[in-house]
């Protein structure tokens, strides 16, 4: 049985050697044959030429080079599309996904699991801010999405061929892989691990990118933010009706009470704010609908090596 290891890489020239040196001995000790499938996600440094050289001398290495940077989520789809193994393992190149966990994942797969996920049991390598926002994200996501994802799962995972064939049918452009892995079904086996800090290179996930990624995740798997406004609007309308009645009755009983400028401004600006927020939510969905209807491919391949 053959294993394909997909590794998305973006400007990772200094991490490649360490990755191969750490992962190869672990894979060689398993009973499976394996291949590396690097997806070069539009690297600007020498990542591709180094991979090309390695692929010439090492028959286990395959490379798919994308035409530009499409982002990790899309790069992974390129990997899955080109993976030939009976099982597919997804790993980051920075060794934040410890190779020691791979034998356990393979064991779970041999015991019949179609989807093997891993869960970070410490997030010490992340800042306090990133940890707490991530914690909130999982809470909000699972409160809203119909198909839940386990807390703190990472992209470090293993899929059986059957699950891979299901996964590659999902061709959406705003991709949130953790949600997609859950969406295809196949009760996952979750293996906990300790996540070390990145040794070389640097993380390419600034806060702004994480924020839009979180919105991609929520909007892809829940329409609740969209529907919420019907209820918020109804509640405000009913409250306003009662308040209007109250004012009319009070005026009839006690006459006109002119002061009220401050409360008027407060109510008008509050409602203005609420309306803009609801428009913004509509916009988030509309923008994604727009990018889906254009029906562009999820990624473009520039070159393939080793196939």
Supply the angle between the helices 47-57 and 16-28 in degrees, to the nearest 10: 30
Residue with Cβ nearer Mg ion (24 or 96) = 96
Binding to ligand UDP by residue 37, rule CB under 6 A? no
Cα torsion 225, 227, 228, 231 to 10°: value is: 170
Binding to ligand UDP by residue 203, rule CB under 6 A? yes
Binding to ligand UDP by residue 205, rule CB under 6 A? yes
Residue with Cβ nearer ligand UDP (10 or 62) = 10
Contact track, Mg ion, 198-237, x by CB under 5 A: x---------------------------------------
Binding to Mg ion by residue 30, rule CB under 5 A? no
Binding to ligand UDP by residue 223, rule CB under 6 A? no
Binding to ligand UDP by residue 72, rule CB under 6 A? yes
Binding to Mg ion by residue 278, rule CB under 5 A? no
Binding to ligand UDP by residue 73, rule CB under 6 A? no
Binding to Mg ion by residue 96, rule CB under 5 A? yes
| Contact region with Mg ion (CB under 5 A), list: 20-28, 64-72, 85-93, 297-305 | 85-93
Binding to ligand UDP by residue 12, rule CB under 6 A? yes
């Amino acid at each position: 049985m053959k294993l394909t290891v997909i590794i998305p890489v973006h400007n990772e020239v200094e991490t490649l050697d360490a990755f191969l040196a750490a992962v190869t001995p672990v894979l060689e000790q398993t009973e499976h044959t394996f291949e590396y499938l690097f997806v070069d996600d539009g690297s600007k440094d020498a990542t591709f030429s180094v991979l090309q050289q390695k692929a010439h001398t090492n028959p286990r290495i395959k490379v798919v080079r994308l035409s530009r940077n499409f982002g990790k989520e899309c790069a992974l789809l390129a990997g899955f599309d080109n993976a030939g193994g009976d099982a597919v393992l997804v790993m980051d190149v920075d060794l934040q996904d410890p190779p020691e966990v791979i034998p356990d994942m393979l064991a779970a797969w041999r015991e019949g699991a179609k989807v093997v996920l891993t869960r970070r049991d410490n997030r010490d390598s992340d800042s306090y801010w990133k940890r707490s926002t991530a914690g909130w994200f999982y809470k909000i996501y699972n409160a809203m999405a119909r198909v839940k994802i386990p807390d703190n799962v990472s992209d470090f995972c293993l899929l059986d061929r059957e699950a891979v064939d299901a996964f590659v049918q999902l061709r959406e452009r705003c991709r949130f892989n953790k949600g997609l892995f859950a969406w295809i079904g196949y009760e996952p086996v979750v293996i906990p691990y300790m996540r070390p800090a990145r040794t070389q290179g640097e993380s390419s996930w600034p806060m702004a990118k994480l924020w839009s990624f979180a919105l991609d995740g929520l909007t892809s798997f829940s329409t609740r933010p969209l529907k919420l406004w019907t209820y918020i609007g109804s509640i405000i309308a009913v409250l306003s009706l009662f308040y209007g009645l109250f004012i009319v009755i009070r005026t009839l009983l006690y006459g006109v009470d002119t002061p009220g400028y401050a409360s008027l401004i407060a109510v008008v600006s509050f409602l203005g704010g609420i309306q803009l927020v609801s428009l913004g939510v509509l916009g988030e969905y509309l923008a994604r609908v727009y990018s889906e209807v254009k029906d562009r491919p999820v990624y473009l391949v520039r070159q393939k090596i080793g196939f």
